[in-house]
């Protein structure tokens, strides 16, 4: 039972890959090897109904691993995997058992050692679904490579872009091309590579895509190291915000001076997503 109609990526702005990776790294040391003693659902649905397997199959299982795939988190057990998405405003924290629940605390995964994993989601755009053992959930089946993997290269982007007339920023944000490069990091990567977000994807040379792939890898790796960006609704599992926001070159800086040339940054709007870029430094 999957209980889905369309991918979670159809929701508006949300935590991006570094924020989700920060969550995974924050949770893992506290929950790996722990036995799940119970599941408390204060709602029976978030973005979609929560499958019955979450309550029926998770209790008694041991958490073997927490994996990130794109912007999803997979909590693996021998029975199958709980599939989480933070949506626009979701967060996951490890708390002491018995910690009073707030209005937006929708799910508790009770663990051995008197701890709980608590999922909080004020807007309820997140999801908690089930992936049976040995299967790949439909939401994950058509995703592109991870941006920090060896498969993601300039050569790969160049091949995928041939004949594409979409703007390169939209191309880079296509989850079938590469996963997890959302609005913030696409804007920052294109600026570092000196590429206009409005250029047709198919018009760029292999050399320019090599620069872009290098920029994506470097920026995402650094953002993960710094804890991601401080989105309005996002906090990492230890309740600390990310620290990358203060280092953004273009995102959210429309009209402000370019940090390279000093000219005012322009505004672009692609697929209803606003962004800033430099008309002088990005061509």
Q: Is 114 annotated as belonging to a binding site? A: no
Torsion, CA 206, CA 225, CA 90, CA 64, rounded to 10: 100
DSSP string for residues in 154-199: HHHHHHHHTT--SBHHHHHT-TTTSSS--HHHHHHHHHHHT--TTS
Does 206 carry a binding-site annotation?
no
Nearest to 233 by CA among 122, 92, 85: 122
Determine whether 200 is an active site residue: no
SS3 at position 204? coil
Active site residue 15: yes
User: Would you say 197 and 190 are in contact if contact means Cβ atoms under 8 Å apart?
Assistant: yes
Question: 38: closest CA among 23, 14, 54, 52?
Answer: 54
The dihedral over CA atoms of 158, 216, 251, 232, expressed in degrees to the nearest 10, equals: 130
Contact 36, 111 (CB under 8 A): yes
Task: Determine which one of 34, 47, 71, 160 is catalytic.
Answer: 71
Say whether 164 counts as a known binding-site residue: yes
DSSP 243: S
d(CA 208, CA 187): 15
**Of 16, 19, 53, 188, which one is the catalytic site residue?**
16
Residue of 15, 18, 147, 237 marked active site: 15
Q: Which of 118, 169, 266, 273 is catalytic?
A: 273
According to DSSP, residue 24 is labeled H
- Annotated binding-site members for DNA: 104, 123, 164
Residues marked as catalytic: 15-16, 71, 273
- Annotated binding-site members: 104, 123, 164
């Amino acid at each position: 039972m999957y209980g889905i109609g369309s991918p979670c990526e159809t929701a508006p702005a949300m935590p991006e890959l570094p924020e989700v990776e920060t969550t995974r790294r924050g949770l893992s040391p506290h929950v790996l090897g722990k036995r799940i003693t119970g599941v408390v659902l204060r709602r029976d649905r978030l973005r979609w109904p929560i499958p019955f397997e979450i309550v029926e199959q998770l209790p008694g299982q041991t958490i073997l691993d927490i994996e990130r795939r794109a912007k999803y988190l997979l909590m693996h057990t021998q029975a199958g995997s709980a599939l989480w998405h933070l949506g626009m405003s979701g967060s996951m924290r490890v708390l002491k058992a018995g910690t009073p629940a707030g209005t937006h605390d929708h799910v508790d995964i009770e663990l051995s050692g008197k701890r709980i994993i608590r999922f909080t989601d004020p807007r309820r755009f997140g999801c908690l679904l089930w992936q049976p053992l040995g299967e790949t959930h439909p939401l994950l089946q058509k995703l592109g490579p991870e941006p920090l993997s060896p498969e993601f290269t300039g050569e790969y982007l160049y091949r995928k872009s041939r004949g594409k007339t979409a703007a390169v920023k939209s191309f880079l944000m296509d989850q079938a091309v590469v996963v997890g490069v959302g609005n913030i990091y696409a804007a920052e990567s294109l600026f570092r590579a000196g590429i206009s977000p409005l250029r047709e994807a198919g018009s760029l040379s292999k050399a320019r895509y090599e620069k872009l792939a290098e920029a994506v890898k470097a920026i995402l790796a650094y953002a993960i190291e710094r804890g991601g960006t401080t989105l309005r609704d996002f906090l990492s599992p230890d309740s600390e915000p990310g620290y990358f926001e203060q280092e953004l070159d273009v995102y959210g800086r429309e009209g402000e001076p370019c940090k390279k040339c000093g000219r005012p940054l322009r505004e672009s709007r692609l697929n209803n997503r606003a962004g800033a870029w430099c008309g002088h430094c990005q061509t």
